[in-house]
Structure 1
Amino acid sequence: MIELKYVDKRYPTSNALLYVHGLTIRKGEIVGILGENGSGKTTLLKSIMGIGELQNGEITIEGKSVGEQYERMAFITEEGSFLPHLTPKKYAHFLAEFFPQFDLEYFNELLRRYELPTDRRIRTFSKGQKMKLEISAGLAKRADYFFMDEPFVGKDIFARRESLKLMMSGLKGDETLLITTHLIDEIENVIDRAVILFKGLIRQDLYIDDIREQGKSLADVMQEVRNTRPFYDH
């Protein structure tokens, strides 16, 4: 379980901010972190990962600090966490030294399925190839908690769906996933829950089943958020 209490994160050089009064993500949930550019999606994931300091508040995973749970987490980001001067093969051995659960066989299988070269330096890869490598490395960590920041950027609709299918097929079923994305149509049938941010505040936190019971789609809820202005974080 991930718990955020009175989390306040700001950047001194920009207007970006995040304030979360309280948020609990239960173990095994697949949660879409949604919102427009600058709404705080990436900041939320980085805060949970322990990247950068908080001005106030506390984040715990199963009652422990983020630092104590680092080996159980994987951060898959558009920015890339790989080492560009290495080849995928050497990068895999690097990861295996730091993550005891790293699954080299599964990593190599993902490289084959993504048709990625194993002996070329990562810096020579295209943007799409780098994202596929990032996904492969993240999934092969066999983590309990996955934080995916825009993992489908730059792919056409068929490639995105295939990538999503590949990602989900590699999971055991009890992992907790937080996924930021603009592509709500493609993840609506994958996520259990949607947390929608607007200007650093949580504006909606709904389960997909509840949205459907109201006769709405996720797109409908997103539009409602766009048409309102936040005065408080609930």
Structure 2
Amino acid sequence: MMKFALKNLKESNREYVYRTLKENIINFSYVPGDMISEPEICSLFNMSRTPIREAFIKLSEDNLVNIYPQKGTFISKISTSRLDEAMFMRESLEKSVFKVAQEKLTPEDIIELKKLVKFQEGILEFGSDIKEFFYLDNQFHATIFNKCGFSSIWNSIENISQDYNRFRFLDTISKINATKVIEQHSQIIEALETKNEKLFNQIISEHLRNICPQLELFKEKFPNYFE
């Protein structure tokens, strides 16, 4: 079932539809292989076809939908090659950000990162919506990039990470790595506080590849989700 985000004041209709549909694809409200139609989405959003069509084109550029003329638009399947590419890009860039982070992150920034970890701990402890755990994970990494003045770089990472994020979402709702993610976030903070680049690089590599052992398991469990 479609879950509607709140529309930001500065968002155009196209941007709002695109963001909402992307979130629903990432969190499997729409699963790989599902067909979505312009008339249906127009009706759901009560909008004309122009912003809907533009949003579909943007989702196609993100490899989240496949548009087949005369046939329809379908949610794309997860590509393991795109997943590997995203992991490589993230690992390279997240390691590179360390030298800037150790100079630019303030004690207040470190406190902000620790609060995000506490929120994640609370979700596991009190059985809150595990989906929020996923978004807090992204927010943790985005905060480091944003505080370093690299918000555009983080946006580029996100743009290439759609399949990686979908696979991570499956991992998150399975809770297989949830406790490990919290421990690793704490270790990342420790490495930033102590300016320990070796520890930072080690944990980043382990953290970004937590999902790898689950690949074959999820491909077997959800065969229709993967190319």
Please classify the TM superposition score into its range, dividing by the shorter chain length: under 0.3
More helix by share: 2
Higher RCO structure (Cα 8 Å, ≥6 apart): 1
More strand by share: 1
TM value normalised by structure 2: 0.28
